[in-house]
Amino acid sequence: MKANKYLLISLMVVTQAQAFDLPRQPVKAYECDVCSKLSHENLQDKWEITAQPLNRKISNRQKSYSYREEVTAEQLHAGVVLPTLAPGAVMRITPLQDRALPNLILKTPDNQVLSLQQASVLYSEDEAFGDKSITTKHQTMIQIKPELGFGNFTLKSKKSNAKPKQHYLISVFDKFSTSYLQVETDSVHYQFGDKLTATITLKDDDTNYTSDKVEATLVSPTGEMTPIELTKINHNQYEGTASLSSGVNDHGENWYIEASVSANYGDHFLRRSGHTAFSYAVPSASLLNVKKISTKPLTFVATLDIATASRYALQSVLFRKNGGEAKPIETSQKAQWLETGRQVIQFTFDNSSQFADDMLYLGYLRLIDYGQLKTVYQYNQPIKLSKLVD
Amino acid sequence: MDFILRSLVTLYLVLFSTFIQAAKDPQDSKGIAFVHGTKDHRDDAYGGYWKVDFIQSIANSLSKPENHFVVHCDFSQYMWHEDAANCVADQLLQFVTDKKITTLKVYTHSDGANIIRWILSNPTYDSRYLSLKRYITEVVAIAPSSAGTPLADEVLNGGIFETSLAWLLGYLSDAVKQQRVGDMLIFNEELLLGSKGRPSLSIPFRVVVGTDVVASPFVSSSYCNGYILNSGLKIAKLYLEKCADGYINCASQAQAGDVWFYDYEKTDNQEALNHNQSRHSCSGFDKILISDLAAEGTVK
């Protein structure tokens, strides 16, 4: 135990004196209810990887051709107008209480009144599809016959025998429409104190709709909803910002931006709602520097600043450059329990092909906090091994 | 002198007995395991989720048919939950210990691939993962939801969980949240390896992609593993891309690992395997998997 302590101190002294400094991020502690239950063992694994590039830029842009509406039994009896922009739309009607649906009729844009069965090319009602545990739930799903066209359909219950407090959820998927709502944020990863910018865009290749109502909401993993104020930045494009300052451990769950839009063009009315996800973490640790301490085996030591005691894993990649771009050849993963304060993680690579140091780079440094199940630090740029020694 | 002689004799016996053991049957220590998909299958993984004739057909082809195991855990949880990944690790480690398995081939279906990928991506999370990883030589991921499914987004849109697709996804659960397209994008980027732009996994992760749903009363393959369920997938497919198995788009299935084959490339009469059929002996699927085992020399 004492020997380990001296080793740790000596490694820290050595690394601080001669290490490659990494961009440092401010760290913040969070209350971790699960961390102490995580493994306290030091574990390492390493393996050869394919030479596929690791610098892919990802976007959380999501498109929606759908909208949904919650209505009461009274509203359903009076008739709910459901606009579509293309033939063959799909509708689902689900009671929010466990009750059967009333008999429903659909009035088409050219005023035909049809039962749902008559109006649909595919129809499903209260079918459990083999899962007997689901049989008590009610739902109806239809695909409207393409020959009935598109426009304003009206869904209506025949009799008003449902209890007024009964609510229904109607979802419309305008499958073949060219108009969609696009929701995205300016990053996929955020940390405490970051400002998020959300962009909401209504896109249509054929028709120049003008959006008249656009809303966006920030949704936390616990379902807490915060409206986002939007500003128009282009035709049918809106932007809003939110400051992220939660200090709560989300246990790996993600945050969402939900948005909805309504628009019109002459007699045509358009509605869409959609969402996108992003990752949010409390920056519970930061890498400070990294240094190579041995060639055989190829060994590095990284120094970290830890704000919350937890189990951390450092994933890193060894790259080889032989002219052109540095290509990944091997990855190493080392996890250990780290107390707060300055700590070190020592990790090795096999370098089984015995490539010379001057061809090798260390990069793709990702620190995962298993207490939050989030990546809390990343440095992707490959660093030439010669920069990691004296 | 006496000590040296005795040591040499002992060494000779140890080596000789090892050779006899190895020569007896080199295939004896190979095993296979089936990992189910989303929802809680602690009680029905064998026979309910994976069909008995499918399991038996493949197991009986092994030189030791008893060297197969059907995982039965609660996958209504997030992949990292102890009832999901830890349960899988515990059961499989017990299996390899009991049967003295030295190499293990794992077949996963649907969300089961995400649970195995979590284990293989994070071998240092827990010593059980690291131990298990050393036995697994290959994963055959059948119709994996590697990039999620828009159906999970459909039922969770707007903060209200809708039960209309519960027969397929189960009721509101962390597994449904996990399989939303946006969530899987993040998990692939932060916690899972093997997808595009991420370090590859340490072992082969071969994907079988289901491409379509056929549910016509006039087509015999529509009846394999239940016409009603297949027709349900036909309706669910309305929410998916043209290439999809009724639950997951082909692009999502191919998101992680290497595509081994698209169903029609190897099935009888180039038939599609929908999400319900790719865990059953439909369109000669079990025979394809047996041929693959035979090519490795694992079968009788």
B78–chain A Cβ distance below 8 A for any pair: yes
**What is the predicted pLDDT for the residue at B228?**
66
Structural domains for chain B: 27-295 (3.40.50.1820)
Q: What's the DSSP call for residue B265?
A: G
What is d(CA B16, CA B13) in angstroms, rounded to the nearest whole number?
5
**Minimal C-alpha gap between A207 and chain B (Å):** 24
This complex has an ipTM of 0.92
Residue A47 in contact with partner chain B when CB distance is under 8 A: yes
Portion of chain A with pLDDT greater than 90, in percent:
74
CA torsion through residues A234, A235, A237, A240, sign: positive
pTM for the complete prediction?
Answer: 0.90
CB atoms within 10 A of CB B249: 25
Rounded CA separation B129/B89 (Å):
6
d(CA A259, CA A206): 22
For residue A329 the two structure tokens come to: 């050849």
Inter-chain Cβ pairs, chain A and chain B, closer than 8 A: 164
> How far B167 CA sits from the closest chain A CA (Å)?
6
Lowest mean pLDDT among A12-26, A235-249, B92-106: A12-26
> Burial of A321 by CB count in 10 Å (0-12 exposed, 13-18 middle, 19+ buried)?
middle
Residue range A56-87, pLDDT digits in tens: 889 999 999 999 999 999 999 999 999 999 99
A328 reaches B (C-beta below 8 A): yes
Largest CA distance in chain B: 85
**Tokens read off for A77:** 């009896």
Mean pLDDT of A24-32: 97
pLDDT of residue A188: 97
SS (HEC) of chain A: CHHHHHHHHHHHHHHHHHCEECCCCCCCCCCCCCHHHCCCCCEEEEEECCCCCCCCCCCCCEEECEEEEEEEHHHHHHCEEEECCCCCCEEEEEECCCCCCCCEEEECCCCCEEEHHHHEEEEEECCCCCCHHHCCCCCEEEEECHHHCCCEEEEEECCCCCCCCCEEEEEEECCCCCEEEEEEECCCEEECCCEEEEEEEEEECCCCCEEEEEEEEEECCCCCEEEECEEEEECCEEEEEEECCCCCCCCCCCEEEEEEEEEEECCEEEEEEEEEEEEEECCCEEEEEEEEEECCCEEEEEEEEECCCEEEEEEEEEEECCCCCCEEEEEEEEEEEECCEEEEEEEEECCCCCCCHHHEEEEEEEEEECCCCEEEEEECCCEEHHHHCC
Closest residue, chain A, to B126 (C-alpha): A39
Q: Which chain A residues have a beta carbon less than 8 Å from that of B134?
A: none
Across chain A, what does the average pLDDT equal? 89
Residues of chain A neighbouring B231 (CB-CB closer than 8 A): 124, 129
pLDDT score at A210: 75
Show which of residues 128-157 on chain A sit within 8 Å of chain B, judged by CB atoms: 128-131, 134, 137, 139-141, 143
Q: Model confidence over A87-104: pLDDT tens digits?
A: 999 998 888 876 777 889
Per-residue pLDDT at B258:
97
Residue B31: CB atoms within 10 A of its CB come to 25
Tell which wins on pLDDT, A19 or A369.
A369
The per-residue pLDDT for B184 is 98
Position B14 scores a pLDDT of: 43
| Shortest Cα distance, chain A CAs vs residue B210, angstroms | 19
- The predicted pLDDT at position A9 comes to 52
Residue found under tokens 């358009």: A270
Q: Does B238 contact A175 at a Cβ distance shorter than 8 Å?
A: yes
Token representation of residue A313: 């894993």
Stretch 166-225 of chain B: residues touching chain A, C-beta under 8 Å: 166-168, 177, 180-183, 185-186, 189-191, 193, 196-200, 202
Q: How far apart are CA B197 and CA B183, in angstroms?
A: 17
State residue B274 phi and psi, 5-degree precision: -75, 180
Helix axes B127-135, B112-121, angle to 10 degrees: 110
Q: Could you say which DSSP state residue B199 is in?
A: P
> Within a 13 Å sphere around the CA of A284, how many CA atoms are in the beta-carbon half?
31
For chain B, the residue count is 300
Q: Please tell me the distance in Å from B196's CA to the nearest CA on chain A.
A: 8
Please tell me the predicted confidence (pLDDT) of residue A209: 74
pLDDT computed for residue B23 by the predictor: 41
* Region A255-276 average pLDDT: 90
The segments of chain B whose pLDDT lies below 50 read 1-3, 5, 9-24, 27
**CA-based torsion, B148, A133, A119, A96: positive or negative:** negative
Report the pLDDT value the prediction gives residue B13, as an integer from 0 to 100: 43
Please tell me whether the peptide bond between A23 and the residue prior to it is cis, using omega within 30 degrees of 0: no
Check whether A28 has a pLDDT greater than 50: yes
User: Of chain A residues 234-293, which have a CB less than 8 A from chain B?
Assistant: 252-254, 256, 258, 273-279
Residue A278 Cα, gap to closest chain B Cα (Å)? 7
Domains in chain A, please, with CATH?
13-57+283-388 (2.60.40.3870), 66-173 (2.60.120.1370), 178-281 (2.60.40.1930)
* Digit-coded pLDDT (tens) for B64-107: 999 999 999 999 999 999 999 999 999 999 999 999 999 999 99
Say what the pLDDT of residue A284 is: 98
Average pLDDT over residues A232-253: 95
